[in-house]
Chain A
Amino acid sequence: MAAMVVGVLRRGSGYSSGGFGGTSRLLALSLRRFASTLVVAEHEGGFVKPSSLSALAAAEAVAKDNKISLLLGGSGPALHKAADHAASSHPLVSEVLVADSEALAHPLAEPWAELLCSVQQKGGYSHVIASSTSFGKNLLPRAAALLDVSPVTDVTAVKEPRVFVRPIYAGNALCTVKYTGEDPCMMSIRSTSFSPTNKAMSETKVAPITQVDLSFLSEGKSSWVNLTSQDTERPDLANASVVVTGGRGLKSAENFKLLEQLAEKLGAAVGATRAAVDAGYVPNDLQVGQTGKIVAPELYMAFGVSGAIQHLAGMRDSKVIVAVNKDADAPIFQVADYGLVADLFEVLDELLKIPDKK
């Protein structure tokens, strides 16, 4: 239905004069007033990232007939390949805006916030959505301050176009808020709460790609030096369907290798608690919790994890939780679907002995 209306509008706008053209402009205006969303997307290797596809699903949750513009920035051929991917990524995407500049090649908040403001001022969107990644969390509040509006962080559900649910106090309470300010209503969404759509795209539906005029970019006050990344063969922690996590109970970095072997076997990602990170067993980008990553996999297996409030905040929405801990009183057992009160090394040994089936 939404696609039909947009289709009529497109054809309508072809008439430069006459009643039909006028009506369509009016329709376009009222449609825009209802919901038109700018989704700030991230891309990697020529594709829109899964977390940004979740942001598209959130835009759809705002309004079934939402008119979505997707903003992509960066430079080089990968950007343009990602733009092609973006153009056919969701039936509601009506336009892909491409900002091609060396200044945007790295995720620096200063030029990106200027870009977002400029695009918002031209497009007059009712909503601006980004995913709660380190990129989204760095950029969105800065841009919101420049636009003088309050953004909503980490939205987990959209109740009405301007009414949202978000966790507070490390997920120990859920707060429903209504945005009552001027346009745009800005939010970052928790990507594990919105599944990317699998809706089949019609072959002909490819959104037009437009280049953004970047003459407004000012001289940078910040510069990018480098990124030290943890290269890993395993699936990305935030999007993995199985996550195995170790806590202080693993006792050493050496023992974490056992967990990695199990992860390999299950096609899982490896996570860790803050205690394990602080003890130097694993790098900190594996930390799951209020201050680390938020995961919601099908299966979450916690080994030697006590279950502190801050850790539970990052994994309590997992579908099935398994806990292995020697201490029968560990709080983790209060959220676990299946618990084993046992020595984790013996359990790991047994699990590693299971013959590979697949």
Chain B
Amino acid sequence: MKILVAVKRVVDYAVKVRVKPDRTGVETANVKMSMNPFCEIAVEEALRLREAGAAAEVVAATIGPAQSADTLRTALAMGADRAVHVLHDPDPARPLLPLAVAKILRAVALQEKPGLVILGKQAIDDDCNQTGQMLAGLLQWPQGTFASKVLLDKEKQKATVEREVDGGIETICLKLPAVITTDLRLNQPRYATLPNIMKAKSKVIKKVTPEDLNVDIRSDMEVIEVTEPPKRKAGVILSSVDELLDKLKNEARVL
């Protein structure tokens, strides 16, 4: 069985983002970019499933401009076997929406015929939390979102997924092929070692365009403006618990 993993290049999670003065978006020029943390977890899980003998091949895919190839190289250095790069240079005013990404990934999935597609549960830039669910819907495959544990049964062609839901952990069972999205708790992604980074340079990245895949990219969403969130007014540092209780009771009136 083959596992397809979708990865996204985003502004590094530790960067304090700045809104552009013209309010068209967030400053991404000269900002450190990395693989979306949830996507790293997706790659790690696919590799672990391969190492456990549940899968034979791990294929990483991304959609984005030429620089996104770096993100694929990271996935290859972690241990993915090969990669597919769907080249798309987005118009900053019309970023690629999850629906378009899901349609492109469906086309890739129909070519690659994986038994499982693993994605992160959300990208930390748009915070949408949609692509995996949409891909599963388009493929008419079952979905196991927000996974914190995945067990594959090759014989029965089943996946048992523990999901992080409000109020606890839910366990569901999916018939393969299926789509799984990862939560933070699923695993601890490995670091790519230097020899593996060197080896990754000779692994194959296949380049295609949305046109090659016959996917029509349209957008039904317009970004009107991006603004800074309202600033909280400066607080005060108090000297004692008594003072705190007094303030909470008599000034903020929340106790």
Contact = CB atoms under 8 A, between A and B. Distances in A.
Interface of A: 107-110, 113, 133-135, 137-146, 148-154, 163, 166-182, 221-230, 238, 242, 266, 274, 283-285, 290-291, 293, 298-299, 309-310, 316, 319-322, 328, 333, 335-341, 347, 350-351, 354
A320 B166 contact: no
B127 A169 contact: yes
Nearest to B146: A134
Nearest to A178: B222
B91 to A, nearest CB: 15
Going nearest first, the 8 A-B pairs with the smallest beta carbon separation are A181-B220, A145-B137, A229-B168, A145-B134, A141-B133, A141-B130, A222-B142, A142-B137
Contacts of B56: none
B40 interface: no
B247 to A, nearest CB: 6
A168 B26 contact: yes
A144 B132 CA distance: 12
B244 A225 contact: no
A167 B184 CA distance: 20
Contacts, number: 241
B137 A141 contact: yes
Given A182-B220, A320-B254, A169 B26 contact: yes
8 contacts: A141-B134, A144-B99, A148-B99, A153-B129, A168-B125, A174-B226, A227-B167, A310-B13
Contacts of B236: 337-339
A309 B11 CA distance: 13
Contact of B247 (A137, A274, A338): A338
A135 B129 CA distance: 12
Given A138-B145, A168-B226, A180-B220, A153 B130 contact: yes
Nearest to A310: B13
Contacts of B241: 340, 347, 350-351
A178 B221 contact: yes
Contacts of B127: 153-154, 166-170, 290
A244 B235 CA distance: 18
B94 to A, nearest CB: 11
A142 B164 CA distance: 18
B223 interface: yes
A173 B21 CA distance: 12
Interface string B180-200: 000111000000000000000
Contacts of A137: 129, 133, 145
Contact of B235 (A135, A169, A172, A338): A338
B208 interface: no
A336 B235 contact: yes
A175 B148 CA distance: 30
Given A149-B220, A180-B221, A227-B165, A338 B244 contact: yes
B224 interface: yes
Contacts of A351: 241, 245
Contact of B17 (A169, A177, A274): A169
A181 B97 CA distance: 12
Nearest to B134: A145
Contact of B124 (A154, A169, A221, A223): A169
A222 B121 CA distance: 19
Interface stretch (B44-52, B74-82, B170-178): B170-178
A177 B223 contact: yes
A333 B255 CA distance: 21
Contacts of B228: 173-174
Contacts of A354: 245
B235 A321 contact: yes
Nearest to B125: A169
Most chain B CB neighbours (cut-off 10 Å) among A134, A140, A319, A333 = A134
A141 B98 contact: yes
Interface in B6-34: 11, 13-14, 16-17, 19, 26
Given A108-B172, A145-B135, A178-B224, 4 more contacts: A134-B164, A150-B97, A178-B222, A225-B172
Interface string B101-119: 0100000000000000000
Interface string B212-250: 000000011111111111001101111011001101100
Contacts of A266: 255
B252 A320 contact: yes
A358 B145 CA distance: 43
A170 B124 contact: yes
B170 A226 contact: yes
B178 to A, nearest CB: 8
B169 A322 contact: no
Contacts of B248: 299, 320, 322, 338
Contacts of A221: 141-142, 174-175, 178
A266 B166 CA distance: 23
B237 A339 contact: yes
B1 interface: no
B138 interface: yes
Given A141-B98, A144-B99, A335 B232 contact: yes
A167 B97 CA distance: 16
Interface in B47-88: none
A274 B238 contact: no
A238 B172 contact: no
Contacts of A178: 221-222, 224
Contacts of A153: 127-130
A161 to B, nearest CB: 14
